[in-house]
Amino acid sequence: MSLALRTKRLMREYRHMTADPPPQVRLQSHENLGKWEVVIQGATETLYAGENFTLQFTFPEAYPLEAAEVVFVNNVPVHPHVYSNGHICLSILYQHWSPALTVETVPPAGDSNYVKQAKVSPKDAAWRFDGMFTPMCTL
């Protein structure tokens, strides 16, 4: 049941992404149905204007009940919620995932506000310190 659901759902999302993608987002490649690369253009008037970033989506077998694995590859943006290895610190990609979220609606691809969260001063960000050496910030 679950694999059929996954296929059906991904086919549908794929059709959407090719036919009517959100602004400044396009599906670049898909090796197979389970691994997509999505390119987002840096929004104008932000730190990221003029740059392109690639997000890699890997869909597990239990998708959409389980979250897709989403990371930045190649050019990793400088952003308070993104680690230099491309991992994204965003709760809805992990414990707050909801099966009704899609590739289009998951930030940073789906939410243009996401890029605006790169604050000019670190004092404007809400930091949470997990242990001694791993500062994490919350939305």
Partner 1 sequence: MDEDYDDYEYSEDESVVSISSSANSHQGHARTRATAAAAAAASQATSASQSQAVAQTQSQGQYSADFGYDEDEDEDFFGDDNDFDRAMGARPTKKAWAVDFKVYDPDGLRVTQKDTIDRMVPVLAVSRDTTTLLLRCYLWREEPLVEDFIADPERTLAKSGLSVHPAASRIESGNDEFTCEICYTSGAEEEYLSLSCSHSFCTDCYATYASGKIREGESWRIRCPAPKCKTLLGEESARLLLAKHKNVLERYEDNLTRSFVNDLDSFTWCPAPNCQYAIECLVPRSAMTTVIPTVNCKCGKAFCFGCKVDDHMPAPCYLVEKWQQKCKDDSETANWLKANTKECTKCKSTIEKNGGCNHMTCRECQYHFCWVCMGPWDEHGQQFYACNRFNEDSSKNARDSVSKSRAMLERYLHYYTRYNNHEQSVKLARQLLATTEKNMEQMQREMTLSWIEVQFLSDAVDVLSVCRTTLKWSYVLAFYMSADNQKIIFENNQSDLEMATEQLNELVENPIGQWSIEEIKRKIIDKSTYVKSRWETLLSDTSLGLQEGRWQFEC
Active site residue 137: no
Q: What is the DSSP letter of 121?
A: S
Catalytic residue among 89, 92, 101, 118: 89
Phi, psi of 88 (to 5 degrees): -110, 130
Q: Which one, 62 or 136, has the nearer CB to partner 1?
A: 62
Q: How far is the CB of 114 from partner 1 (least distance, A)?
A: 14
Q: Which of 27, 40, 57, 64 binds partner 1 (CB under 8 A)?
A: 64
- CA neighbours closer than 13 Å in the CB half-sphere of residue 2: 9
- Rounded to the nearest 10°, the torsion over CA 37, 59, 95, 25 is 30
92 binds partner 1 (CB under 8 A): yes
In which region does residue 31 sit, left (phi positive, over 0), alpha (psi from -120 to 50) or beta (all else)? alpha
- What residues have CB less than 8 Å from 83, skipping those under 6 apart? 76, 89
Segment lying near partner 1 (by CB under 8 A), choices 27-35, 41-49, 79-87, 95-103: 95-103
Taking CB under 8 A as the rule, which mask of x and - marks residues 96-125 in contact with partner 1? Answer: --xxxx---x--------------------
What are the residue numbers of the active site?
Answer: 89
Which residues of the chain form contacts with partner 1 (CB under 8 A)? 1-2, 5, 8-9, 12, 62, 64-66, 92, 98-101, 105
